[in-house]
Structure 1
């Protein structure tokens, strides 16, 4: 009888163990930290891609598109004229903040001080190696914007630490760095536009072009100046 009783008890214990194990595999404990029976299984294969949605239909006809384009051009013209009439509003393109790196600044002379030509730079400024009259209109400083952008003008300052500044200058622009074009007068004549520069060494003077240009390279030629042709500048697109 004892042997039979023990056999029955053993069977009961084994049955209870198997039942507990089976239930533990179907119902995971709440807080098991991804270990043991509740460890996450491997992700199954990715299913097939769904069907593409139905293409949308444009309700605009040709005349609507033309009208919207005209309105956009009108708005852009208004914004441009507002910016031209607001001298304190302008958008710099990178000489001041270093977006234009030093190796993107070129000069006709004094290569070692070309980075001094950045707007608001606090050392002095850039100036050509010669102030001789024979070099007038031949010395320049140029910014490479990195890619072709819309350019609307330039901002200039004089020398930071002394009373030297550029009184007048002209501007050339290029998309490839080889063929340059002068900024011309507003009447679109063939006459080169001569810009009025600074009247002191620190005040910023904004000169907007008669019309925006597409350019990657913007080059400034000092023409007349006080003392030495020191200049600090940036290029603007608004």
Structure 2
């Protein structure tokens, strides 16, 4: 592989904008397998792309945005592998421990409304995390600390599981951090924080795919609109 200096600019069709990223190495007449192996062997490689017709392999750093182009295979590196097999990261099945799920508040400080109740398909009691509307109705949030960096690609949300309350988040934003102090929004290509659709009923899961794969330790959901009360359940999709 040849060293490449400077930046490359690619056209991201889904955003109709130009995305800048740093190409670490590039080679031609490579195979898909050799391209993947080269990224694993390159300490700073976070992504690789492989163009089938030209057999062009490019390794790139953390800053690239996902690009969907015809004839291009694109993969996000996750640790020592790539996120070709995505799945739930542990909200519903309990692999994420209770203490890793925290929130800005919860209703009446009652355990039935606590952050741990935000696990997807939680039943009984309040059947959701619900914020304390009296003290925390401006910018509530709920977050998961994975205690290591993971790759997040999408979210699945639900409303409060008890039909007669009709309480659910209808729109939310996503922020992320590696230290719990400095936070970034998931944005569109223009840098505007994105709003993702929430729920229209109590139990129907709604999946929202992020515009690019996040590599982060802490994922925070910031509800911006809700019906009757800010209550939700969710799952995080991605890979370790």
Q: TM-score when scaled to structure 2?
A: 0.61
In the alignment, the residues of structure 2 paired with residue 64 and residue 93 of structure 1 have an alpha-carbon distance, to the nearest angstrom, of: 37
Q: Mapping of 1:183-222 within 5 angstroms?
A: 183-185=186-188, 188-222=189-223
2:234 aligned with 1:236: no
Are the equivalent residues in 2 in contact too, given 1:147–1:216 (CA < 8 A)? yes
Task: Find the partner of 2:95 among 94, 99, 107.
Answer: 99
* Partner of residue 3, structure 1: none
Q: Mapping of 1:26-105 within 5 angstroms?
A: 63=28, 68-69=34-35, 70-71=49-50, 74-76=72-74, 91-105=87-101
RCO higher in structure (CA 8 A, sep ≥6) = 1
Are the equivalent residues in 2 in contact too, given 1:131–1:229 (CA < 8 A)? no
Number of equivalent positions? 164
In the alignment, the residues of structure 2 paired with residue 203 and residue 101 of structure 1 have an alpha-carbon distance, to the nearest angstrom, of: 24
Greater percentage in helix: 1
Q: Closer, same or farther in 2 for the Cα pair 1:120/1:130, shift >3 Å?
A: same
Structure 1: which 4+ aligned runs deviate by more than 6 Å? none
Q: Closer, same or farther in 2 for the Cα pair 1:223/1:193, shift >3 Å?
A: same
* Partner of residue 135, structure 1: 137
* Partner of residue 178, structure 1: 181
SS at match of 1:231: strand
* Partner of residue 125, structure 1: 128
Are the equivalent residues in 2 in contact too, given 1:174–1:216 (CA < 8 A)? yes
CA apart distance, 1:90: 6.2
Which runs of 5 or more structure 1 residues have no equivalent in the other structure?
1-61, 84-88
* Partner of residue 42, structure 1: none
In the alignment, the residues of structure 2 paired with residue 99 and residue 237 of structure 1 have an alpha-carbon distance, to the nearest angstrom, of: 14
* Partner of residue 68, structure 2: none
- Bigger-Rg structure (1/2): 1
Q: TM-score when scaled to structure 1?
A: 0.62
CA apart distance, 1:180: 1.0
CA apart distance, 1:135: 3.0
Q: Closer, same or farther in 2 for the Cα pair 1:164/1:135, shift >3 Å?
A: closer
CA apart distance, 1:76: 3.7
CA apart distance, 1:169: 0.7
In the alignment, the residues of structure 2 paired with residue 224 and residue 106 of structure 1 have an alpha-carbon distance, to the nearest angstrom, of: 20
